[in-house]
Amino acid sequence: MALIELGVVALDCPDPRALAGFYAELLDWRVTGEGDWFEAVGPQGRRLAFQEVPDHRPPQWPGQEQPQQCHLDFNVRRADAEAAQEKALALGAKLVQQDDARQSWRVYLDPAGHPFCLCFVG
């Protein structure tokens, strides 16, 4: 084991159970946790955590009045781009930037307003 290893990425949100559920469904992972801390848990121990912040102010994208501070990128086979988008939208994501001929990604907002990208590979 390295001296220091990444444990988990945690996102602030108003409803951690719901947001963990969104990402668990999106990634076919499972949800664990209780109270004000929930995690979406995937293979090989990969985890995304969500903590409750009662006065959460979602980031603005693309504006910077309330900066995004970080975002998540998820790889998707280009052949599965439309199916992945349909899944994200059905779970409550909002498409905010469609890719064009020069881009290989699309930007979405999760139900709590955090930006994430579906990045097309292959």
Question: Which tens digits make up the pLDDT trace of 6-63?
Answer: 789 999 999 999 999 999 999 999 999 999 999 999 998 899 999 999 898 888 888 8
Check whether 87 has a pLDDT greater than 80. yes
Question: Is residue 59 within 8 Å of 68, Cβ to Cβ?
Answer: yes
User: Is beta strand 115-121 parallel, antiparallel or unpaired with respect to 9-13?
Assistant: unpaired
Share of the chain above pLDDT 70, in %: 93
Give the containing element (helix H, strand E) for 22.
helix 16-27
Ramachandran class of 28: left when φ > 0, alpha when ψ lies in -120 to 50, beta otherwise: left
Closest CA to 37 of 48, 52, 47, 25: 52
**HSE on the CB side for 82, CA within 13 Å?**
1
Check whether 116 has a pLDDT greater than 70. yes
pLDDT of residue 7: 80
pLDDT of residue 21: 98
Q: What is the pTM of this model?
A: 0.84
